[in-house]
Structure 1
Amino acid sequence: MSRVRVMRQPQVGVLQTNKVLRNTYALLAMTLLFSAFTAWLSMALNLPHPGLIVTLVGYFGLLFLTQKFSNSAWGLLFVFLLTGFMGMTLGPILSLYLKFIPNGHQIVMTALGGTGLIFLGMSGYALVSRRDFSFLGGFLFAGILVAFLAGLGAIFFHLPGLALAVSAMFMVLMAGLILFETSQIVHGGETNYILATVTLYVAIYNLFTSLLHILGFLAGDE
């Protein structure tokens, strides 16, 4: 009997990992669609951007609640509130590109396509290679903290060059975060699909906005 249990244990681990992956990608797809809907709604209603303080308070507040209730059904509610809120903040930014920049549609679509390719490439590599990228955790945490603080400095001191550098940093860091989080799921380091979804969503959101900023700058429209 002990041999049977020993041989069956890896199968249980694989089944659990596959379940987390399926649930994560399913919830991620739904939250991305919901976020796209709230962004469209924000654009249709011509809502102004809520501003930096409201955005940060709303983001970190909803992120805290999502993490706090991640093991209950409330976690699903808060993850949709979080991603819907972020979609609402994205709407005015997209309106700016689409209405006031001559090639804004092309920039937005290029940023969207680039984000999709990077996500598929990073997550696909982690899934296929089965390599453990947990060693990236400390680097990513420190890098995101530095980039976040630098981004605040660029906003408060009106430094467009620093803002562009921060966008480039976030692109690299978010690509690494997708690789790291997918690897965590594959190797059992992350077993909560709600938390995994939030991490991947945040990576995709920041990757898209950073790429949008860089493309806008390269096009000479910022």
Structure 2
Amino acid sequence: MAITLAEEIMLLSLDDESGAAKQRQAAGWAVAGGILLELVLAERVSVSGKYLRLVDPTPTGEKLLDSRLLLIQAWLRGRDKRRVTEWLTKDNSKAVGAALESLEERGLVVEEVRKVLGVFPRRRHPEADGSVESALRERLAAVVLEGAEPDERTAGLISLLHSAKLHRLAFPGPVDKTVAPRMQEIATGQWAAESVRTAIRDMQAAVVAATVATFVAATV
């Protein structure tokens, strides 16, 4: 079963048993970035420097991506380009919900709703089928821990996880000091066409900038 980068990041962030999302805020940036990267790979949008452009509005056939494609088109409001950070800021929390809905539709998680204090609904998404996540973690381990060459999508996924500092989601066991340097190496390596690597680099910068801005705002 092929799932999107955003869904892969979401799977890594969910506790398998409780269904609670770990590092939800940082994961939100990575999930939104994952959708954007998929659209770059599909040549529907471009990311260059600080800006996002719509290249081709034709649907990809993937519901999660196409819903964002329509939103980006509306968000641009006829403009040629807008800042990547603006889009990620707008979409990061909503992208999480969209990715969870997609995972539920695929039968990989189930939604459980419980009331906190008997009033406020709390949604959790425990795992229903662990085979996809297991294969994903094996793929990441092969590349990051064992030195295998990544394919384009795996390298993009690792780059997003690295930029959002989600190393422990991918490798939750005892701290391995080689993980972060290896993920950095992959993020800057010659693993894809220059245009895609440039987009990843610029999205990494946008994710870092947006994350820092959110932290500063929360502490003021």
Task: Return the TM-score normalized by structure 1.
Answer: 0.30
**Structure whose residues are more often helix by fraction:** 1
Structure with bigger gyration radius: 1
